[in-house]
Amino acid sequence: MRGGRHVAAVSGASFDLATGECLALVGESGCGKSVLASALLGLLPGNARTAGTAVIDGTDLLSADERTLARTVRGRRVGLVPQSPAAHLTPVRTVRAHLEETLRELAGTPRAELGRAAVAAAERAAFPPALLDRYPHELSGGQAQRAATALALVGDAPLLLADEPTTGLDRDLVHRTADELRRHTDDGRALLLITHDLAAAERIADRVAVMYAGRIVELSAAGRFFGRPGPRHPYARGLLAALPERDFTPVPGMPPELGALPDGCAFAPRCDRASGACGTAPRFEDGVACHHAEETDRA
């Protein structure tokens, strides 16, 4: 709820995610990507409401109570690399203390082995062991990001939600982080990668889901999406065209307010293919929600 009005931050999102698979969820800021991740872990504000199902190992995450989420889901079955890692770290505890507690609780590491295990966990996420005794406020944004990634990987949860895990990292560290997340996935776990970094997504994703105005508008194999024939939705094609190594042309216009969506297709006011048909909301069919998908295919 916002300003006394109900706002649908995410609507009709439907996908599956297999073990050993990475699904990249991409889209502009404010489209609902992080809200989706928060909903799966019961981390939405108290005035938020969810509907539908999200099942992992027989547990519906959307209907589970706080006790179940805290004791059997978070960290154990679903790990999280948060979008704002500094806000999720306890300010009066060092990174080492965070890691050692997580190793004890989730991995059952014996006390005598905690020091060595904490160093190994830090190195896994490219966090410098020399910084383990620093407090969160003493870390740069990129260092806090790597600390949060190290914590998320400790439990080897069957599903990992990585929300912008490469923010604040230089390109070399982006590659190292992405490759470690891919190794985590290849060991038989699932990864939902929420990212603005399409280069990182191209590096490790098996499939790509594109979200716009709270809805998934395209779901495609990564090879098709980043290669040929390319995305089918005009918005998805625009995201790729905005990359410096491609056309470096931004998507025109601004995303709509979720509380004031236009009638029909939410992307129509920004779309060069918009027509009268776009006054009706397109159905999500054959992996895309667009009245002009066939035209895009032919183009």
Give the pLDDT confidence score for residue 167 in this predicted structure.
Answer: 87
Look at residue 168 and tell me whether its pLDDT is greater than 90: no
239 within domain boundaries: yes
Give the pLDDT confidence score for residue 297 in this predicted structure.
Answer: 67
Q: Which domain holds residue 278?
A: 22-298
pLDDT one-digit tens code per residue, 62-95: 999 999 999 999 999 999 999 888 778 999 999 9
| Res. 260 pLDDT band, cuts 50 70 90 | confident
68 within domain boundaries: yes
Average pLDDT, the chain: 92
Look at residue 194 and tell me whether its pLDDT is greater than 80: yes
Look at residue 253 and tell me whether its pLDDT is greater than 60: yes
Residues sharing a CB contact under 8 Å with residue 283, sequence separation 6 or more, in sequence order: 289
Q: Which residue has the higher pLDDT, 168 or 284?
A: 284
pLDDT one-digit tens code per residue, 28-62: 988 999 999 999 999 999 888 999 999 998 999 99
| Res. 286 pLDDT band, cuts 50 70 90 | very high
CA distances from 33 to 13, 28, 90 (A): 10, 9, 25
216 within domain boundaries: yes
- % of the chain residues with pLDDT over 70: 97
Residues forming a β-bridge with 215: 212
Query: Token pair of 76, please?
Result: 């154990």
Residues sharing a CB contact under 8 Å with residue 242, sequence separation 6 or more, in sequence order: 248, 249, 250, 251
Residue 100 sits in a domain whose CATH number is 3.40.50.300
- % of the chain residues with pLDDT over 90: 83
Q: What is the domain count for the chain? A: 1
